[in-house]
Amino acid sequence: MQACNLPKLARKEGAFLYENNLKVEGNRDGKLLSSNFNDYIKQKPNRKLLGLTRVGLRSYKLGARFPNTRYSRLFQIRIGEAPVILDSSLIELSVIGIKNYLKTQGFYTPEISYEVKGRIHKKKVTYIVKPNNFYKIKDVSLHIADKILDSIARRNMDDSYTKYTFRISFERFLKEKARLAEIYRNHGYFDFTKENISYDLDTNLGNFQVNLGINIPNPPNFNRFKPYKIKQIGIRVEPNKIDSNLWGKDSLLFKDFYYFPNTYKLNPEILQNTILFKPGTVFKEELANASFNRLNDLRIFKSVNLNAIPENSGTDSASISYFIRLQPASKYDFIIEPQAITSDQSNLISNSTGRNYGIASQITLANNNIFRNAEILQLTYRISVEAQQGENIPKRPLFNSFESNLNLSLIFPKLIFLNRFKGKRLNVANRSILSATTIWEKNVDWIRNVYGLSLTYQITKKQFSYYFSPAEFSYIKTGFNNPELEAQSKNDQYLQSVFSNNFVTSFKGGFIYNNQNDPKRKNFAFIKWDVLELAGSLLELGNRTFGFEPNDSGFRTFFGVRYFQYIKTFADLRYNKYLDVNNRVAGRLAMGLAVPFGNSPDFIPFDKRFFVGGANSIRAFLPRSIGPGGYDAEGGLDRSGDVKLEVSLEYRFNIYNHFIEGAVFTDAGNIWRIKDDGREGAVFNTKTFYKQLAMGAGIGIRLNLDFLILRADAAIPIFDPRMPEKERYVLDDYGALDKFWYKTIFNLGVGYPF
C-alpha cells in the first residue's frame, strides 16, 4: 500500500530520479577515473537507508498529509527529503561536467551519452562514457631564463610529475608547479611562487603524443630572481599582550638571535635547539616550517607567529629578518572531567560476564615550563565506582567496585640521557615521559595495589610516531576479598597466577601510523604495532650472573617477589574506505602473540593476556565469555589467552544530517593458549584454529556530536566455538522471537569500535 503512494505522487509532481548509473567503456586508464565521475553528476536521487527504502522521501510524503502543521514541519523539513524531480537540463550539465573533467585528465575526445529508463517513480539514468585515447608526454623541454634556476631544475627532474610516457593531467601540472616552487624556495628564492611557472603543449605530433614545455621567465623590468639569506632573528615572548615594537628595548643577543623574554622564565637554549635556521645561512622554507612546528610541539605556547621581513637592496643580494612572537600558555592547567563509565570487568566466582556501569571523576593539574626548560609536570588523579552485577553478588550496596588511580608524569621536549640523538632533524618531534603510577582497586573478588615506574621515548615524524620504553617496572600486590574464591584458588592454577604477587620489569617498542589527518585523503589507515615487549630477561641475567639460586618453589625472585618472563607482540590494523559522502566501509585486523618462558613458563601476567568479546571486540559475545579456542566447561574461569586473532568489517551510513548514523557489521575471532595446560581445544593449532573462530553480526546506531560519538550496537552469534563441533552454527536457534531476543547482545560505547 505504501509503494502505491510514490507513483501517485510522481504523476502529480513529475518523474522521480531513482538511480544514477555509470557505464564506462574503453581503456583501463579511463575506468580507473570512473570513481570521480559521480562528483560531476548534478542531480542525485533521494537517499536510501541500508540501500533499500527511501525513508526521507516517504517521510516527506507522510508530512504532506498534514499541511501547515507541526507534523508537516517535522516530517517534511526536519526528517524528510523533497522528491528529486528528473531534470533533463541537469543531465546535460552532468554530461558536460564529466567531459570537461576527462579533458583535464588528458582525454581530449571523450564520447558521452545517456539513457533514461524505468517507471515514473523509478527513473534510472545511465551515463555511457567512452573516454577514448588519452594524450601522453613524448618530450619535456625546460625554457628557464635564469641559468642558476635552470641548473637546479635539471638536477631535480628525477622526481618530476611530467615524465616521458606519463598521461597529461591538470593535477600533474599543478603538482609539478608546486614541486618546482618548493625546490626553489628551499634554495633561497623566497619570492618565487608557482605562479611564475607556465606550460606550453604541442598536440600536433599525432598518435596522441604531446611535447611539453615548462616556462620560467625572468621577472619584468629586467629583474632577476635572487637568493635570500637570513640577516637576523628576533624572538619575543609576550605573556600579556602583543607589542608593536619589533625588537623591544631590553632585547639581548643570545648566540644566533635577539631574545626578549619579557619576564617569562624560559632557558633560551631551548629556543636555540628548536629554531633550525641561523643568521648568514641561505633561506630554506622547509626549515622555517619545521621550526614553526617544533615551537608548537613544545606545548608551552598558546600561539606562535613567524614573521618574515624581506629586504631587497636592488643588487644581486637580498636578505630576510625573522621576528618570532611567542604567547605562552597558562602556567597552570586545571581540568575536572566527570565521567559515566562502563567496563568489561567480569566476576570470577560466578563466571558472570555482564558489563558494569558506574561514574568516575578525573582531575588533572599541569605545571607548564616547570624547570624553565619547557618541561611539563602533570598530576592526574582518577576515582571511580561501578555497580558489579552477578547472581551471587549482594544487591546492596549498589556501587561495589572502586578504583583510585594517581599518576605523576614529567614530560621533556627531548630524549633525555640520549644527547647523541638531539640533532636538529626536519619534521621530527622528540619527547621523553617519565611517569610514576599507583593504583588501588577493590571489588567483590579482590583488593589490588599496583605500583609502576616507566621511562618512554616518543619520536614523531609526519604520520609516524615511534615509541620505545627502555625501562618499565611494575609491582602488583593482590589479596582476596571473597572467602569462597580464596578457597577455590588453592586447587586452581589459573587463580593462583592471577592472585600471586608479582614483579614485572620490561622494555618495549613499537610505532603508530595514522594518515587520517591528511586533508587530501578520503581513505585512511591506522596501524599500531607493539613490535616487541620483553620482560624479566635483565633480572634473570643478573640473578644467574651473581649466582642467586631459585627459592623452594623453583623460581627466582627479586626482593622476595617472583618476577615474570615473557615476550609479546601485538598489531592493530584499521582501514576506512570512502564510498561517497554518506557511506563508508571500515575494517580491522588485530593479531597478538605472547610467549611465557624462564621464570614463569606457564603464564604471562594477568594484565598482559588477551581477551575477546564486548563492545569493542566481538560484539555478539559478552566480554571475556569465549575461548581459549574451542574449550568450554561449566564453571571454567579462565577466558584469557596468549594468542589473539580478531577481524571486523563494518558498513557505516548516514541516516539524518550526519548527526544520526547507522552501521551493519560482522566480527570474528578468538584467543588461544600457546602451551598445553590440559584443556581440550584450548591450544592454538594452525590446522584447526579457523574452526574455532567465534563469529557474530549485527546492526548499530550512533549519535555523532562532533566532539563525541555515542554508540549502541545489537548483535547475535552466528558461529559459537563453545558448542560441540557439529553444533556451532547457531542460526537455527533463532526460530522463535523470544529466543532471538534472548540471544541478542546489546552494547553501549563511546566512539567508533575501531
Q: What DSSP string describes 407-432?
A: EEEEEESS-TT-GGG----TTEEEEE
With a cut of 90, say whether residue 340 has pLDDT above it. Answer: no
Dihedral sign, Cα of residue 192, residue 193, residue 194, residue 195: negative
Provide CB contacts within 8 A for 386, sequence distance 6+: 341, 343, 345, 356, 357, 358, 399, 400, 401, 402, 403, 443
Output 622 or 82, whichever has higher pLDDT.
622
DSSP conformation class of 31: H
How many angstroms separate the CA atoms of 191 and 179, rounded? 15
Residue 9 lies in a domain: yes
Is residue 318 domain-shared with residue 367, that is, in the same domain?
A: no
Is 695 among the domain residues?
no
Domain end call among 491, 515, 534? 491
Q: What confidence category does residue 731 fall into, taking pLDDT thresholds of 50, 70 and 90?
A: confident
Measure CA of the first residue to CA of the last residue in the chain; give whole Å.
Answer: 41
Task: Count, in order, helices (H) and strands (E) of the chain.
Answer: 13, 29
Instruction: Name which of 85, 86, 81 is nearest 62 in CA terms.
Output: 81
Q: Are both 287 and 394 inside the same structural domain?
A: no
HEC string for 552-578? CCCCCEECCEEECCEEEEEEEEEEEEE
Query: What is the share, in percent, of the chain residues with pLDDT greater than 90?
Result: 54
Tell me if 743 is assigned to some domain. no
pLDDT band at 96 (very low <50, low <70, confident <90, very high): very high
CA 346, CA 436: separation in Å to the nearest integer?
27
Cell reading at 472: 618499565
Residues 141 and 282 in one domain: no
Predicted confidence (pLDDT) per residue in 157-214, tens digit: 999 999 999 999 999 999 999 999 999 999 999 999 999 999 999 998 889 999 999 9
Q: Name the one residue in this structure whose C-alpha cell is 566532539.
A: 707
**Which range (494-503, 555-564, 625-634) has the least confidence?**
494-503
Average pLDDT over residues 94-103: 95
Judge if 353 and 486 occupy the same domain: yes
Which residue among 300, 328, 356 closes a domain?
A: 328
Residue 157 lies in a domain: yes
Q: Evaluate whether 719 touches 693 at the Cβ level (below 8 Å).
A: yes
Q: What is the pLDDT of residues 385-402, one digit of tens each?
A: 888 766 666 666 777 789
Are 282 and 412 part of one and the same domain? no
Residues 404-422: pLDDT tens digits? 999 999 999 999 988 776 6
Q: How confident is the model at residue 353 (pLDDT cuts 50, 70, 90)?
A: very low
pLDDT at 597: 92
The whole-number average pLDDT for the span 682-708 is 91
Check residue 569 and give its pLDDT: 97
What is the percent of the chain with per-residue pLDDT over 70, rounded to a whole number? 90
Do 9 and 116 fall within a single domain? yes
Computed over every residue of the chain, the mean pLDDT equals 87
pLDDT in tens, 265-294: 999 999 999 999 999 999 999 999 999 999
CB 478 within 8 A of CB 446: yes
**pLDDT for res 341:** 72
Q: Please check the confidence at residue 634 and state whether its pLDDT lies above 90.
A: no
> Which one has a higher pLDDT value, 631 or 489?
631
The answer to whether the beta carbons of residues 720 and 730 sit under 8 Å apart is: yes
Q: What is the DSSP letter of 463?
A: T
Does 141 share its domain with 124?
Answer: no
Question: What's the pLDDT at 242?
Answer: 53
Q: Based on the domain organization, do 240 and 99 belong to the same domain?
A: no
* Residue 158 structural domain: 136-216
Q: Buried b vs exposed e over 544-578: b needs ≥16 C-beta within 10 Å?
A: eeeeeeeeeeeebbbeeebbbbbbbbbebbbebee
What's the CATH number where 115 sits?
Answer: 3.10.20.310
Asked if the structure places residue 739 within a domain, the reply is no
DSSP states of 36-86 as a string?
A: GGGGG-S--PPP-BTTTB-HHHHHHHHHTTSTTSHHHIIIIIII-----B-
> Does 679 reside within a domain?
no
Residue 370 lies in a domain: yes
User: Would you say residue 111 lies in a domain?
Assistant: yes
More confident residue, 328 or 446: 328
Same domain, 423 and 447: yes
Q: Is the pLDDT of residue 4 over 70?
A: no
Residues 6+ apart with CB under 8 A from 511: 464, 465, 466, 467, 527, 528, 529, 531
* Rounded-to-integer distance, Cα 598 and Cα 539, Å: 11
pLDDT in tens, 132-148: 999 999 999 999 999 99
| 317 lies in the same domain as 247 | yes
Q: Contact at 8 Å (CB) between 651 and 572?
A: no
Residues 357 and 485 in one domain: yes
The C-alpha atoms of residue 735 and residue 728 are separated, in whole angstroms, by: 16
Residue 699 vs residue 354, higher pLDDT: 699
Helix (H, G, I), strand (E, B) or coil at 147: helix
Q: Which of 328, 362, 384 is the last residue of a domain?
A: 328
For the segment 303-319, what is each residue's pLDDT rounded down to a tens digit? 999 999 998 766 667 99
Specify whether 188 is located in the same domain as 322: no
Q: How many domains does the chain have?
A: 4
